[in-house]
Structures are given as structure tokens and as C-alpha cells.
Chains A and B, each alone.
With several copies, the nearest count.
Chain A
Amino acid sequence: MQSFILHLSYLIGSVTFILGLKMLSHPETARKGNLVAAFGMTVAIFATIFLYKYQETRYAEFKHLGNLGWIFGALVLGTVVGTMAAKKVKMTAMPEMVSLFNGMGGACAMLISIVEYNHMAHEIATGVMVTPDMGMMLVIVLGMMIGTVSFAGSIIAWGKLNGSIKDKTIPGGQMINFVILGGILVLAIMVLGNMMPAMQTPMFYGIAILAAMYGVLFVMPIGGADMPVVISLLNSFTGCAAAFGGFLYSNPVMLTGGILVGSAGTILTILMCTAMNRSLKNVLIGSFGGQKAVAGEAKVGGGTYKEISLNDTAVVMAYAQNVMIIPGYGLAVAQAQHICHELEKVLEEKGVNVVYGIHPVAGRMPGHMNVLLAEADVPYEKLLEMEEANESMGSTNVVLILGANDVVNPAAKEDPASPIYGMPILEVEKAEHVIVNKRSMKPGYAGIENDLFFKPKTSMLFGDAKAVLQKLVAELKQV
């Protein structure tokens, strides 16, 4: 009967994971979906602690799990630390947090494999088992390998996102990666084929070390801005590692949970690439860098641009009827969301109608702008999605672009040779005036020139977004 309840709990776990993922992919139900999955997870965890039984040797009696004190200790510790970290983290630092948690999962899978390996090695050493069970060994090695790659990769991704690790292209990196992969393969075959029984353990740990190296080298050269995509990919790796755990213990909830995440994560990775109009391969070998130079060269000196003074900007905006603010990555970098909200309020007091035009991939993670502006308490009705924004562009007097670049680049519509060709953009040229705030004429994420800056309608307002906005607000209060 206990075993029945255990299995039922696992079934509940699997079902809640499916439902949770399903609900997470619709805006209205997303939050509930997360809770549903969390509920299922709790059920599965407690069912395991209290109801799981195992045999020490084949004919021994079934026993409940021991060391409950340790287990609960670890659970409580993890819960407290995890909750605090997750609650305290700033909105904009969330992707790095996710990456860190993902790494923890990978490390967990790795540790499980190591313990199980030791256990098996011990049984062989003491003669309980004659030769290693190769099926088990395969699962252990694979779980350990993927878990380690995911762990190492996630830590690097985390470091990149919080700025402590800089992008680095290692010369001959591709080559080195191949060599490492080859090494892993050779060692894995030798371990699985039981070719050098005496060397099993060193070889096993050799795989672990190589896998860690691979994880590091795999993520290292990828541009910091591509990290969300990479994290999503590492996410699906950890999912697979969890699934191998499921094989190890014939545990269907680990299996469904792991594989679901593995496949959903892969699709999500691809979707994220598509939203940015890039291919996964492109992201992984970072070929944007290559195109950058070429495109930049072809376009250098694309024309002349005109600047606008803070004073003029304030006047133009104060006497406009409809203003649209288009935030981009620069706004997030400058952390200017609060002062931006301030600007909006000042304008509204003067009877100006202000809205925000939100491009789906503005910033560096999907929904970045929504999250950023929500943090500054900008009301939701003021955020227009791309289609809406483009529709009301015609009746907009002034468009103020704050640190956005690629998402307003007309090359996406006009220049088939451009690497961002085909990406939908915010069509700011339909508005009367366009004011662009950025610090220089440097390109944005995609590394390409933006013709918009040279258009007659456009005026440039150089400077750090936060500083400029502060002055602008001050000016406006005097107009």
C-alpha cells in the first residue's frame, strides 16, 4: 500500500509537471502553472523520503531510507538559502540567478553519479558484484558527464552575465573542444568496456575533469548577450542529466520531469534564437562577430546626422500631444527605468500622452523591458506590444528612443543582406520626430550600422541614458 501511494505521488508529480509547463506557456495561467509544478515536486519529494524502500542486496529485506536527519537538514538549508537568494535578487539579475540554480541541478546530478559509482566500485572491490553492470555504468557515466558539463557551463554563464568573466575567444577553441570530446569518448569506451579494471576509477574521474573543461570552453567564447540562449540550452542538458538519474533508479517522475525539460528546453532554445532571427549554430559559434566587421565596413560614413540639445528636446516633448518612449538595452545598462518613469509622469502632468513601445527582444532577455519597467512601477496599460505600437506610430508626434538600436533598425526591413533582415521592428519612421538617446554612434548587439540615425527626421541626443533623463526632467520642470 505504501508503495502504491509512492507511485501515485510520482504519477501526480509527472502530471503536474506536464500541466505546469503547459500553463507556463500561456500568459494568464503562467503563475499558477509554476505553483502547480512546485506542488507536484513537493509531493514527489516527501513521498520519496517517507515511502521509498530499497534492498541492500538482492535478497535482503526492503528498508526505508535512513539518515533522515541529514536529509531534512540539507532540505531546510537549501530551502532557506534558495528562497533568500531568489527573493533578494534584482529583477535584471534574474537570468544569472537562473543560470546559477541550473548549475546547482547539474552538480547535483554529477554528485549522484559519483556516489553511485563509488558504491558500485566498492561492491566490486569487496566481491559482492563480479563485473560491473554495464547498463548501470552507462547511465552513471552519461549522467555524470552531462551534469558536469551543465554545471561548469552554467557557472561560466553566470559569471559572464554578472560581468565577472569577460568574453574570450580562445585561439583554436574549436580544435581543443574536439580533442576534449574525443578524450571523453575514449575514456568512456574504456570504462564501459571494462578494459582496464584497475584504472576504472581514475578514468571515471578523468571523464569528469574533461567534461568540466568542455563546459567551460563551450560557454567561454559565446557573447555575453547570447547567454539567455545558452542558459536555456544548459537547462535542457540538466534535464537530460536528471533523466539519467531516472533510469538509474527506474524512477518515472525523474524521467518524465527530466526529459520534458530536456525537450522543452531544446525547443525553447530554438524559439529564442528565432525571436532574434538567428540560428542556434550562429549563436554557438558566435559568427555575429564575424559579420560585424564586414557590415560595419561597408556602411562606414553612412551619412551625416544631426544632434539636438537637451533644451530643444524638452520643448519639443512638452508641446507634443503623443509621445512614445522606446526603451532598449541601453536603458537597462544605465538603470534608468525609474527616472524614465519620472519623465513620463512629468510629461503627463503637462497634458502629454505618453506610452511605451515594447519590442519583444529589446534588451538581453525575452520580456526584459516588461520586467524592467514593471520594476519602476510603470502601469501596464502604457506598455504597447510591437504591433499595437506600430499601429499608433502614425499619430505619434515624438518618439524617444532610449538606448535601443537594433530593434528600430530599418535594415531589418530594407536590406536583405543585413544579418538582422527579416526581424520585425518598431517602425519609428512613421512618427513625426525621432529623438535617439545613446552614448555614441557605436552599433548595438548585432554590431551593424543603423541608417535610422542618418534620416532627416532623426535627431541624436548623446549621453548616458540616466544622466540625460535626469537633466531632461529638470529642464521639463522649467518649461
Chain B
Amino acid sequence: MDAIKEMVIMFLRHYDLVTVVILSIFLGIEVISRVPSVLHTPLMSGANAIHGVVIIGAIIVMGKAAPDDYLSLVLGFLAVILGTLNVVGGFVVTDRMLEMFGKKKKK
């Protein structure tokens, strides 16, 4: 039961964040709900790049690691690389996809 109590406390402490979460959920739904089917794949890819924002967590982990804490350093290093791959790869691939569509549009 202690665990539940702590979770309630957690909820209270992060209460504003919970509001942020709920608003974001609604916003995500609203924004996407009318996308034409040709754009499904690029949108998926773009969204994929956006969740790469998890890299910020990786950077913080890495930056806080003590210089002699090799395990954390190695894992953090890996995490930053993976996160960067997600972000950079995601945006570049999306751009390439959309370039295809765009090129055709212009002609």
C-alpha cells in the first residue's frame, strides 16, 4: 500500500505534467485525424523522428555520469548514439520521402 501512497504523491507532485499529458493526447488525436492516406507513411516516419526526443534523457544521463562510472558512461554513450540515429535518421528519411511527393507536385 505504501507503493500506492507514493504514487499518489507522485501524481500530486507532477500534477501539472499530468495535465500536459492529457492535453497532448487530445492534441495528437485532433491533429492527425484527417490525414490523407498517401501521407500515412511519411507521417509515421516524421512521428518516429519526433519521439527521438528521448535523446534528451540520454544526454542528461550521460552528462550526469561520474567520470569513473564506466557502466553508466558506456550505456549512456550507446543511448546517445541510438537516440541520435532515431532523430537524425528519422528526419532525413522523412525528408527524402516527402521530397518524392514534392518533386511530383511541382512539375
A interface residues (Cβ-Cβ under 8 A, vs B): 1, 3-4, 7, 11, 13-15, 17-18, 20-22, 24-28, 30-31, 33-35, 37-38, 41, 44-45, 48-49, 52, 54, 64-68, 70-71, 73-75, 77-79, 81-83, 85-87, 89, 91, 94-95, 97-98, 100-102, 104-105, 107-109, 111-112, 114-116, 118-119, 133-136, 138-139, 192-194, 228, 231-232, 235-236, 238-239, 241-243, 245-268, 271-272, 275, 360-361, 365-368, 370-371, 374-375, 379-381, 383
Contacts and interface: CB of A to CB of B under 8 A. Distances in A.
Tell me which of B7, B55, B103 has the highest count of chain A C-beta atoms within 10 A of its own C-beta.
B55
Given A45-B87, A134-B6, A254-B54, 13 more contacts: A4-B12, A7-B15, A25-B32, A30-B39, A34-B49, A71-B59, A82-B87, A86-B93, A91-B96, A102-B86, A134-B3, A268-B47, A371-B100
Tell me which of B49, B56, B76, B94 has the highest count of chain A C-beta atoms within 10 A of its own C-beta.
B56
B53 A104 contact: no
Given A67-B62, A108-B82, A247-B17, A261 B31 contact: no
Contacts of B55: 45, 108
Given A41-B50, A48-B59, A102-B86, A34 B28 contact: no
Contacts of A112: 54, 57-58, 61, 79
Interface in B44-91: 44-65, 67, 71-73, 75-91
B51 A258 contact: yes
A275 B35 CA distance: 11
B79 A108 contact: yes
A275 B6 contact: no
Contacts of A41: 49-50, 52-53, 87, 91
B53 A258 contact: yes
A55 to B, nearest CB: 10
A112 B18 CA distance: 21
B44 A98 contact: yes
A76 B83 CA distance: 12
Interface residues of B, number: 97
B45 A98 contact: yes
Contacts of B60: 48, 52, 54, 65, 249
Contacts of A37: 46, 49-50, 91
Nearest to A102: B48
Contacts of A236: 47
A121 B99 CA distance: 48
A33 B49 CA distance: 12
B7 A52 contact: no
A315 B79 CA distance: 61
A264 B94 contact: no
Contacts of A248: 57
Given A94-B93, A104-B89, A118-B72, A262 B19 contact: no
A18 to B, nearest CB: 5
Contacts of B107: 379-381
Contacts of B20: 252, 255-256, 259
Contacts of A52: 59-60, 63
Contact of B85 (A3, A70, A101): A101
Contacts of B31: 18, 21-22, 25, 260, 264
Nearest to A112: B57
A192 B4 CA distance: 9
Contacts of B73: 67, 70
Contacts of A361: 37
A101 B100 contact: no
A215 to B, nearest CB: 16
A91 to B, nearest CB: 7
Contacts of B39: 24-27, 30, 366-367
Contact of A108 (B9, B24, B54, B94): B54
